[in-house]
Amino acid sequence: MDDEAAARVALLQGASAAAARVFTVLLTRGPISRIGIAKATGLSQAAVTKTVTPLVAAGLVDDRLGTQRAGQPGRPVSPIAVIPDALTAIGVKINVDEVIAVATDLRTGVLADERAPLRDRDPDAVVDAVAAIIATLETALGPAAARVAGIGVAVSGDVEAATGTVRESGLMGWTGVDLGERLHARLDAPVVVENDVRALTIGEHWFGIGLGTDSFAIVTIGRGIGSGLHVNGEVVEGAYGVAGEIGHLPLAAPDRICACGRRGCVEAVAASAAIADAVSKAHGRPVGIEEAARLAHDGDPAAAGAFGEAAAVIGTAIASLVNLAGPELVIIGGEGVADFDLFDAPLHAAFREHAFGAAGRCRIAVRPHTFEDWARGAAAAAIRTLVR
C-alpha cells in the first residue's frame, strides 16, 4: 500500500464509533448533505462537520461536489460523497472448480476481474490459486494496486469470520481449515474470510437491492441451498458463526439423507446433486443436473417431478424463514436460477401454503447473480471491516 492509502486506512480504523457511522452513511447513501448525515446518524451538524473534515483532508471524501438547490427554497445544500477510488478492495469467490476475483473501488464498482480453474480442492492448492489470481489482478489494476486496503474471500460452508477458519465446508470437503491464517501469510493486505452467501448478503445490503429495504433475505439454490438474512440494520452473523443454514432445515421426509449426514434436510431433496440423483435413479443411468434440466424441459415426468419436489421443499423453507423473521423481501439467487422456470410454480404454491398471515406478503424476487456478483460481495465484506 502506498503512504496515502495507508493513511486513509489508519484514519478509518482509528475512527470513533460516530465517525464510523458517518463514513458508513456516506458510503452507502452518498452523495448526501450534512443535514442528511446528521439525521441518519443522530449526531449534531457540528459533530458531523468535525468528523467529515479529516476524511476530506485524507482524500476519502469529497465535499466540493458543487452546490445543488434542495426542492424547497432556502440555503443551497452542498452534498458530500465518498471518493470511490480512494481505496481498492479485492473480492475472491472460491467455487468447487474455479476461483473468481474482482478488484473494486470503495462502492464495489468493478475495476478488474479474473477467473481461473481450480483443479484441486486441497487447502494448499486453493491458497496457491487465490494468491496467484490476486497477483494477476494486481498487475491488471495498475496504480490502483497500491491502494488495496483489504481482501475478502468467500467460500461455501460454516465459516468463523472472526478467525477466518472454515470449520466445515461440504462442497470443498474441508473441516477446520485455517484459510484466513494461510492467506494472511501469503498476502500483503488484511484478509477476511466469509461464508459466501453471507458475503453476497453484505454486498446486497451495502450496495445492492438491500439499500431500499429494511429487511431482506437471500436464498441461493443450486449445488447448495443457503441463505443470508439482513434485519435490524445488519446481516445476521450467528453468535457462533453459523446462520442462514436454510439448506439444513429438516423439512423433507426423514428417509432423505443429506450429504451432511442428517435426515430430511432441504438439501437432501433440493440441491443439484439430489435432483440429479433422483433423475438418475428413475432412468437407471447417471444423469447430470444439466441433462436433468433438459429432460424436465422436454417433459420427462421423472425429471419434472424431481425439480417439482425440490421446488416445493425450497418454497416451504422460504415460508419457514419468513414465518420466523418476517423479511420485507426474499431474493432467490444462485446458479440454480438459470432454470428457475422449473421451480417457479411449485415453489410459490408451497410458499403460499405455509406462509403465516401477513408474513406471506413478503415479496419473492429472482435475481441471477453472476459469480462476479459473489466476488463483489466478498469485496464488500472486506470494505465493511475497514469501518467496524
Of 62, 114, 160, 204, the one binding its own copies (CB under 8 A) is 160
Q: How far is CA 162 from the centre of its chain?
A: 17
CA distances from 176 to 109, 166, 171, 185, 311 (A): 33, 6, 14, 17, 32
Q: Does 294 bind its own copies (CB under 8 A)?
A: no
Query: Distance (Å, rounded) from C-alpha 4 to C-alpha 2?
Result: 6
- Least separation in angstroms between CB 99 and its own copies: 24
What string of DSSP letters covers 250-319?
A: --S-TTSB-TTS-BS-THHHHSHHHHHHHHHHHHTS---HHHHHHHHHTT-HHHHHHHHHHHHHHHHHHH
What string of DSSP letters covers 52-106?
A: HHHHHHTTSEE--S--B--SSSSSPB--BEE-GGGSEEEEEEE-SSEEEEEEE-T
Q: Does 218 bind its own copies (CB under 8 A)?
A: no
Structure-block grid coordinates of residue 285: 443411468
Residue 187 or 380 with smaller CB distance to its own copies? 380
Q: Does 139 bind its own copies (CB under 8 A)?
A: no
* Count of residues engaged in binding its own copies, rule: CB under 8 A: 61
Q: Does 209 bind its own copies (CB under 8 A)?
A: no
- Least separation in angstroms between CB 327 and its own copies: 6
Residue 79 or 315 with smaller CB distance to its own copies? 315
- Least separation in angstroms between CB 245 and its own copies: 4
Of 34, 93, 256, 354, the one binding its own copies (CB under 8 A) is 354
Q: Are 140 and 88 in contact (CB under 8 A)?
A: no
Query: Distance (Å, rounded) from C-alpha 221 to C-alpha 246?
Result: 10
- Least separation in angstroms between CB 189 and its own copies: 27
Site for its own copies in 11-50 (CB under 8 A): 16-18, 20-21, 39, 41-44, 47
- Least separation in angstroms between CB 4 and its own copies: 27
Interface residues with its own copies (CB under 8 A) are 16-18, 20-21, 39, 41-44, 47, 158, 160, 167-168, 213-215, 227, 229, 231-234, 236-246, 248-251, 260, 262-263, 316, 319-321, 323-329, 353-354, 356-359, 361-362
